[in-house]
Chains A and B, each alone.
Chain A
Amino acid sequence: MTDDKGIIKEADPAVLHNLLRTMVLIRIFEEKIIEVYPMQDMKTPVHLYIGEEAVAAGVCAHLKKEDYVFTTHRSHGHCLAKGSDPEMLYAEFYGRISGCSKGKGGSMHPVDPENGILGTTAIVGGGIPIAVGTALASRMKKDGRISVTFFGDGASEEGTFHESLNFAALKQLPVVFICENNFSATTSPLSQRQPHENIAKKAGGYGIPGITVDGNNVLDVYDAAKAAVQRARQGKGPTLIECKTYRWKGHVGPDCDHEKGCRPMEDLNKWMKRCPVEMYKDLIINKGLITETDYMNLVKEIDAALDDSLKAAKQHPLPDTKELLKDVYYDKE
C-alpha cells in the first residue's frame, strides 16, 4: 500500500492511529485464542477473523457508540472494533457467568447493547434483515442512529439478503450492508456458488449504490464506509459495500485450511503478503505518522492488556446450574 488517495492528509490523525490500534487489537485478541485453544477449556466454536481486520476497523471508525452493528458467527473483530470489552468477550468464550451473554451464547452469540450490539445470530444471513429492522426503528423514532450489518459472501446467497436490500432500498433506510467477500463459505469456493464474483453488483438491481473495495486496505474501506455512513445519516438510503479479503484460518478453529486439504497454501501465502495490519503500518510509518518504535510499543501495550483480560476472564466463575432455566422469557420484574 503506497497510495493513500490523499486520505491521510485529510483525516484526523487520531482516527488514523485508531485504525491501526483496532486492527492490532483484533489480531492479538485472536492470536491469544489460538494460543489457549489447545488447552480445550475454551469450549466454543471459534470462527477467526485474522486477515480480515481492515473491514471491521475501517467501517466502525465512522460509527458512534449508539449506532447498531450486527455481526455473524465470525464475530470477534466487529465487536472489538465497535468497542466491546475484551475481557467480557473472553469470559463469554470460556462460558463464564460474567461473559457478555452470561455464558449462554459463546463466541457465535455475543451481545453488547451499550455499544449498539443487540445480539448475534450464527444463522447465515439471519442478521441482515434484523439490521434493516433496527434501521426502520431508528427512522420511526427519529433517533439518528444508523445500522451496519456485516456478513459474508455466502450470506449474499440467502433470500434474506435480497429481501433486505429490496426493503431497505424501498424505504430508503439508514443501513449499510458490508459484505466481507473472502471467496469462501466454510470450504466451498465462491465460484461454486455464484455466477460471478462481484457481489456489489447485486445492489444495482435494487437501485442502491454497490461499491467494491480492497478489504485488506483499511483506508479503502474507511473511505467507502465514510460515504455510505454519510448517506445513511443524511437519510439518503442504504449502500452495499463489498470488501474483497481473505480469511487466514480455517472456517472454524485455529488451524489453517491447507492443513486440512482445503484451500491451497499458495493462496494463503499470497494474501499474507497483503496483511492488512502490516500494509497499513508500513504506510503510516512511511508517511511519518508513527515510527517503528511507536508500533512496537503499541503491540506491547495491547498484548499486555489482552493478557490481563484473558487471565481475568478465566478466573470468573462458571454459571450456576440454576441459570439454565433463566432467561427463556423476558420478565418485567
Chain B
Amino acid sequence: MPWTKVYIDKNELKDTLAREGLRGLSYRDALKEAQEQLLRDDESVFLLGEGVDDSGGIFGSTLGLWKEFGKDRVMDIPIAENGLTGVAIGAAIAGMKPVFIHMRMDFLPMCMDQIINHAAKWHYMTGGRVNVPLVIRSIIGRGWGSAAQHSQALHALFMHIPGLKIVVPSTPYDAKGLLIASVRDGNPVMFIEHRWVYDYIGYVPEETYTVPIGKGIVRRPGKDVTIVAISLMVYEAIKAAKTLEKMDIDVEIIDPRTLNPLDEELIIESVKKTGRLVIADVSCKTGGAGAEIACRVAESAFDYLKAPVKRVNFPDTPTPCSPSLEDAYYPDAETLVESVKGLF
C-alpha cells in the first residue's frame, strides 16, 4: 500500500504514484496542509511559535499560512518559551487548541516546567475535570556543525512523564494524519519531527484524515529479525534491509509512529515471529526509547528471543561540531547491517 510503504528509490515512488493516480507531497507540505485544514475547519485551532509567520516559515512547514488565517492565528511570539508554553496551556484549558512550534527540539528544555509540571499533570490533578488540548511540534536538527545545542532528540525524556503523548512521524502520510489526530486528541501531545525527512515525498491524500495515536506500522514484513526504527531511522532500516536481503536475512521493520502510548502488541507479535530485535533511534542510547522497548519485549516475549536485543543509537555524548566527529557520531544503514549480522 502506498501509504504505508516507504520508498527509498525516488523513481519507484514516482512510478507508483503515477500508476495509481495518487498525489505525492513532501513531509514539509504534508505538515502545512494538515495545519491549513485544521485552521480552516476549527476556529479554536491556532499556531504559535518563533518565526511561524516569517519568510522561512519553520523550514517551510507554516510558510505563508498567516496570509489566509491572519497573524492572530499564525502568531509570532517573543523569545520566551517557558512562559509562552504556560500561555498556550492557559488558552488550551479555556477552549482553544494551540499548536506551539519550535524550530529545534533543543529549545524544549526551556519549557520543561510548564510541560512536565503543568501540561502533563493538569488533567489528573483536576480529577479529570480539565483537559489540555495542546500540541507541541518540535524538530530534531542534524548536520553542518549544529553541535550540542541544535541537534538533540529528547523524546525519551518525555516518555518518562505520564500524561504526555509522544508521536514521531517518519512519513508525509503519517505527518499529516498524526498531526490532525494530535490536535483533535485533547491531551498534550509532543509532536516530534526530524529535519532530514522534510524533503521526503510520499503519498498524502488531499482530504482530512487521521492516523491513530498509539498504532505502529509494519514498514516491511520479514521473518528473521525485527528492526524497530524510530523517525529518520526508518529510512536507514529500509536501506539496511535491502543489503541484508542479499545475505539471506529477511528483516521486518516496525515504525512505532507513537512512543507513548507505544504499540507494544505490534512489536511483541513481530519479535515472537522473528526472535530477534534491533532498535534504531535518532538519539543517545542510555535511558532512551530503545531501553523501554527492549524491556517491554523482555517482560512479554523473553522466551521467544534467540539472541540478545541490540540498540543502534548515537553514542552517549553531546553532538560534536567537527565534521570528522559528526561523521563518527551518526549511525546509518551500515551500522544497522553490522548490528543485525551480529545476531546470527
Chain A contact residues, CB within 8 Å of chain B: 43-45, 92, 95-97, 99, 101, 103-109, 121-125, 154-155, 157-159, 185-188, 192-194, 260-262, 318-321, 323-325, 328
Q: Are B79 and A157 in contact (CB under 8 A)?
A: yes
Choose one: B107, B150, B325; the contact of A104 (CB below 8 Å). B325
Q: Are A122 and B323 in contact (CB under 8 A)?
A: no
Choose one: B56, B79, B149; the contact of A125 (CB below 8 Å). B79
Tell yes or no: B43 within 8 A of A by CB. no
Given contacts A104-B147, A104-B325, A105-B147, contact A159 B106 (CB under 8 A): no
Tell yes or no: B265 within 8 A of A by CB. no
Q: Are B54 and A187 in contact (CB under 8 A)?
A: yes
What residues of B have a CB within 8 angstroms of the CB of A99 in the complex? Answer: 322
Cβ distance B262 to chain A, nearest Cβ, rounded Å: 29
Q: Are B324 and A319 in contact (CB under 8 A)?
A: yes
Extra pairs beyond A123-B110, A157-B79, A186-B50 (10, CB < 8 Å): A44-B144, A45-B145, A95-B323, A95-B324, A103-B320, A105-B147, A154-B78, A319-B324, A321-B327, A321-B328
Tell yes or no: B12 within 8 A of A by CB. no
Cβ distance B152 to chain A, nearest Cβ, rounded Å: 11
Q: Which residue of B lies closest to A261 (CB)?
A: B55
What residues of A have a CB within 8 angstroms of the CB of B4 in the complex? Answer: none
Measured in the bound complex, the distance between the Cα atoms of B81 and A174 in whole Å is 28
Cβ distance A114 to chain B, nearest Cβ, rounded Å: 21
Measured in the bound complex, the distance between the Cα atoms of B322 and A249 in whole Å is 24
Q: Are B315 and A95 in contact (CB under 8 A)?
A: no
Q: Are A324 and B50 in contact (CB under 8 A)?
A: no
Q: Which residue of B lies closest to A154 (CB)?
A: B79
Given contacts A44-B145, A105-B148, A159-B80, contact A187 B325 (CB under 8 A): no
What residues of A have a CB within 8 angstroms of the CB of B148 in the complex? Answer: 104-105, 109
Given contacts A122-B149, A158-B80, A321-B328, contact A43 B317 (CB under 8 A): no
Considering only residues 71-88 of chain B, those with a C-beta below 8 Å from chain A are 76-83
Choose one: B55, B149, B318, B323; the contact of A121 (CB below 8 Å). B149
Considering only residues 272-315 of chain B, those with a C-beta below 8 Å from chain A are 315
Q: Which residue of A lies closest to B149 (CB)?
A: A122
Choose one: B54, B107, B325, B329; the contact of A95 (CB below 8 Å). B325
Q: Are A193 and B147 in contact (CB under 8 A)?
A: no
Choose one: A95, A123, A154; the contact of B145 (CB below 8 Å). A95
Q: Are A109 and B77 in contact (CB under 8 A)?
A: no
Choose one: B83, B146, B317, B326; the contact of A45 (CB below 8 Å). B146
What residues of A have a CB within 8 angstroms of the CB of B54 in the complex? Answer: 186-188, 262
Among A99, A105, A323, A324, residue most surrounded by chain B Cβ atoms (within 10 Å):
A324
Measured in the bound complex, the distance between the Cα atoms of B144 and A236 in whole Å is 44
Q: Are B76 and A325 in contact (CB under 8 A)?
A: no
Q: Are A318 and B317 in contact (CB under 8 A)?
A: no
Cβ distance B1 to chain A, nearest Cβ, rounded Å: 39
What residues of B have a CB within 8 angstroms of the CB of A321 in the complex? Answer: 324-325, 327-328
Cβ distance B74 to chain A, nearest Cβ, rounded Å: 12
Q: Which residue of A lies closest to B81 (CB)?
A: A158
Q: Are B150 and A43 in contact (CB under 8 A)?
A: no
Cβ distance A40 to chain B, nearest Cβ, rounded Å: 9
